[in-house]
Chains A and B, each alone.
Chain A
Amino acid sequence: MKKFKWLFIIIILLLVSGCWQYRELNDLAIVSAIGVDKIDTEYLVTVQVINTRKQSHTIQAGEETTVTIYEAKGKSIQEALNMISLECPKELYLGHIDIVVIGEETARTGIKDYIDFFLRDREVRKIYPFVFAKGAMATDVLKILPPIIILPGTNLANMIETADEINGVISNRRFDNVLDCMYKRGRHAGVTAIEIVNQSEKGDSLDNLSESKPKTKLMITGPAVMRDDKLVGFLNNREGFGYNIIRKQVKRAVITFPCDKDNNYGSVTIDSPKVKLDTKIKNNKPFTSIKIDIASSLTSYNCKLDLSKDKNITKVENMIVKETESIIKDVIYAAQKIHKTDVLGFGEKIYQNYYKDWEKIEKNWDEIFPTVKYEIKVNARINSIGSVINPAPKGGEKNDY
């Protein structure tokens, strides 16, 4: 008997735990996306539940929707989610949400209530993409069925991820990035925004997908500007790009510059530009300097300058510098004069380098920020001009490359 003592102890230890937190996979409704809107004083919570009925072979893709939408109202987000259990046969499982969408109107009134819910919940991880719906309700965004990736939530998350990798218009992709920005002293957050193109009744049915060019679809736009927890406005795509250059969030992007007066353009692809943002106190006034170092490769070129000569390449580089400077100026103008909100993080540098001064001006920073002077230094370099030297010929001419 003695020899089985330990075995008994182990088995009893395991069994008295009572299968704590035991949940079978098929008793869970896996939530792919959550949308939050505020209607008057109540929250309207929309959840996209993945349809896990045997999709694999019995039902062909396209015969039924891959997600089911549940909506409920409640005084808090938790209450609304709890109301959903009255109509959903399985327990909602939030551990794998792909995306959270907040409606524009709601975002303008402040989002700290949701932040509290998502921070407090143990199950939800904090790394999902967090977006605002520009000019729409979150619930409408979630109802749209996407064309390529079958699950709408995953589709949206993938759109954002791809744009983040190759476009440069996405900022603070994930919820934890947004929180980071919001709670750092001396700056406000920019949040990814999406909008609905051609909103129509058809968007939430499979009919929308029966055409090769779906009428209703979602699109990423320039980031939203927040002051504290409230949305104040949106940047356009160009400004959003500038914002991301300053915030060092560009991984790969394209800069297109005019190269002569006849509306001819060239494009370069840039890889993670090196940016140095610094704010100094000069004569009791903050002064920001931005240094940008761009390494690029020419990917499109329709100009008359002969690239086989070195000095012309320098000329093209200067065009890139000019274009970049103008983009940066645009975004600083938008932040200072239109939104009057320091999303760019000028104040953060004062907080880091001149702590005592920052303590004095912190309360008035929102007033001081629009008057901050700045200088921009851009250095651009073309590393490669591709497989051909000059623009592709019309044909019929004699060319020597």
Chain B
Amino acid sequence: MKKKLSKKAIEVINEIKKETGNSPDIIIKTIPYFNHYIYVIFNEMVSNRTTINDFILEYFESDRKTPYKKDEIIKNIKAKLPVHKINIIDNYDELLYLLLSGFTIILTDGNDQALAIETKEKLNSGIQESKAETIIKGPKDALTENYQTNIGLIRKKLKTESLWLKEVTVGTRSKNKVGIMYINDIADIDLVNYIVDKIKDIEIDSIPDSNYIMEMISENKNNVFPDYISTERPDLVSEHLLEGKIAIIVENSQYAVIIPAVLIDFLHSPGDYYQKSINVNYTRIIRFLAIIITLLTPAIYIAITTHNHEAIPEKLLISFAAQRDGVPFPTIVEAMLMLITFEILKESDLRIPQTLGSALSIVGALVLGDAAVQAGIVSPIMVIVIAITAITGLIVSYIEMIHGLRWWRILFIIAAASLGIIGIFLISIFLIINLTSIKSFGIPYLSPIAPLNISNLNNSIFITRKRELLKRNVLTAKKNIYRSRGED
């Protein structure tokens, strides 16, 4: 049972002071108003002072014409105050929550209700360019840490009345708003309700990021492959919403989450939609190739140089043998050494300030790579192999995917070192078993390829011309399957 507000304003103020530990940033102003007092309470750190001065305090100064009865004051102020959002509240929990999120509270004696006027200060960095998912051509705006801005950015792209928003507050202490956006006449409403229920069930004190929500509601807890897209691009969110997918936006998180997501989504880039389809297909082939290369190159190199020598052309074999001459470690140790070195370089490059970045890359790339070869610790060919692995590993902009593939790469290497090419096939079988067994919120992870869904192949590995992309993904879209007019 929520604690109701007291009729005496002074008691309410004392309660607020008690709950917040008499915090100095909570300002309480007492204004004489006809024959009684009005108390204006706000937190100066999260409220906009101009709004408070110009519209609230100014109003009480000027409005002296008609006196109100004591119990009608609240109603009258609500009707007349020139601000856009006023809530009437009657309990302490709500009062404190609104006060701390930037509302101005107005109390009067003799009323067991209070007014909460929205005077939020915009504490964000403004709309900036997307940094993690850069594209050559296309919109550049990215989501921000501000919840309202994010929803606004998405609504700006889809000005339809059927873009619906459900809101849940999560976090007993942080009280983050979580918005679930979907297009009502496309999306699967059962899934929406399921997600909303799941999010409501989350019990935690604080949600730092949208990723938290996903780890809590995802069904694939032990799987390295992500089953949701985490993006900072509002255009990508809107594209996926039109496919009948659901977007989750979390207050204070710059990343929106799109569910369900299948493997093929991670091999696409938002930039694909802003170029000619036929040219995008070339890029996509390269991207698919790169994924296979980054997964298998070290393993195949190890397999053919330690077990299946017959698989290499003779001249290459001689060259490999000459390069490996004098290297003291087995090939697998060499490979792991280089892989770990690369991961360390990658991590430390992220941590250090940008001004030191060039120094690190010089030391890392030139000194370590070249000197290691000169010193005979690794063979030059291994440096090439790991470099190819590392470069191709960065072709996908979804870092979750890349980091998931790392585990499989290691498994492939171990298998290659112990069984050769047979081992690579063995692990490939396990990988396929793993991929086929994942479901992302009810959607098979390998769809539309397995199970095959021919009508959705127009934007899977290849993308057809834009005017042929008429059908939404039938697994996620439940109504209005066709994008244009035409039969449904």
User: Interface residues, chain A, CB within 8 Å of chain B?
Assistant: 3, 10-11, 14-15, 17-26, 28, 30, 50, 52-56, 93, 95-96, 98, 123, 125, 151, 154
Contact = CB atoms under 8 A, between A and B. Distances in A.
B309 A28 contact: yes
Contact of B321 (A17, A21, A30): A30
27 contacts: A11-B414, A14-B414, A14-B426, A20-B418, A21-B307, A22-B417, A24-B305, A24-B330, A25-B309, A25-B320, A25-B321, A25-B331, A26-B325, A30-B314, A30-B317, A30-B318, A52-B321, A52-B322, A52-B325, A53-B322, A54-B323, A54-B325, A56-B322, A96-B317, A98-B314, A154-B314, A154-B315
B169 interface: no
Given A15-B418, A21-B420, A28-B309, A55 B314 contact: no
Interface string B319-333: 011111111001100
Interface in B418-436: 418-420, 423, 426-427, 430
B222 interface: yes
Interface string B426-450: 1100100000000000000000000
Interface of A is mostly: loop
A54 B305 CA distance: 17
B411 interface: yes
Contacts of B317: 25, 30, 96
B418 A14 contact: yes
Nearest to A2: B222
A19 B417 contact: yes
Contacts of A17: 418-419
B327 to A, nearest CB: 7
B327 A26 contact: yes
Nearest to B414: A14
A15 B321 CA distance: 26
Which 6 residue pairs across A and B have the least CB separation, nearest first? A52-B321, A96-B314, A3-B222, A26-B324, A14-B418, A95-B310
B297 interface: no
B106 to A, nearest CB: 55
B309 A10 contact: no
A79 B484 CA distance: 79
Nearest to B222: A3
Nearest to B331: A24
B425 to A, nearest CB: 13
B419 A26 contact: no
Contacts of A54: 322-323, 325-326
Contacts of B309: 23, 25, 28, 93, 95-96
Contacts of B320: 25
Nearest to B418: A14
Interface in B277-332: 305-307, 309-310, 314-315, 317-318, 320-327, 330-331
Interface in B381-430: 411, 414-415, 417-420, 423, 426-427, 430
Contacts of A96: 309-310, 314, 317
Contacts of A21: 307, 420
Given A26-B324, A151-B318, 19 more contacts: A10-B411, A10-B427, A14-B419, A17-B419, A21-B420, A22-B417, A23-B306, A23-B307, A25-B317, A25-B320, A25-B331, A26-B327, A30-B317, A52-B321, A52-B322, A54-B323, A55-B322, A95-B310, A96-B310
Nearest to A16: B418
A54 B318 CA distance: 10
A24 B306 contact: yes
Contacts of A53: 322, 325
A22 B430 contact: no
A10 B430 contact: yes
Nearest to B322: A52
A22 B320 CA distance: 16
A168 B222 CA distance: 65
Contacts of A98: 314
Question: What is the size category of the interface that chain B forms with chain A?
Answer: 20 to 34
A56 B381 CA distance: 13
A171 B236 CA distance: 65
Q: Which of B307, B317, B318, B414 has the most CB of A within 10 A?
A: B318
B321 A26 contact: yes
A50 B317 CA distance: 11
B237 to A, nearest CB: 32
Q: Which of A11, A26, A96 has the most CB of B within 10 A?
A: A26
Q: Which of A20, A25, A28, A95 has the most CB of B within 10 A?
A: A25
A81 to B, nearest CB: 17
A50 B417 CA distance: 25
A14 B414 CA distance: 8
Contacts of B305: 24-25
A99 to B, nearest CB: 11
Contacts of B415: 14
B411 A25 contact: no
Contacts of A95: 309-310
Contact of A50 (B222, B310, B318, B327): B318
A22 B422 CA distance: 13
A259 B327 CA distance: 66
B113 to A, nearest CB: 53
A123 B417 CA distance: 19
Contacts of B330: 24
Contact of B324 (A15, A19, A25, A125): A25
A18 B331 CA distance: 16
A95 B304 CA distance: 13
A401 to B, nearest CB: 48
A22 B307 contact: yes
A154 B306 CA distance: 23
Contacts of A15: 418
A95 B305 CA distance: 13
B326 A125 contact: no
Nearest to B310: A95
Contacts of B326: 26, 54
Contacts of A22: 306-307, 417-418
B324 A24 contact: yes
Contacts of B427: 10
Contacts of B321: 25-26, 28, 30, 50, 52
Contacts of A151: 318
Nearest to B330: A24
Contacts of A52: 318, 321-322, 325
B332 to A, nearest CB: 9
A50 B41 CA distance: 89
Nearest to B411: A10
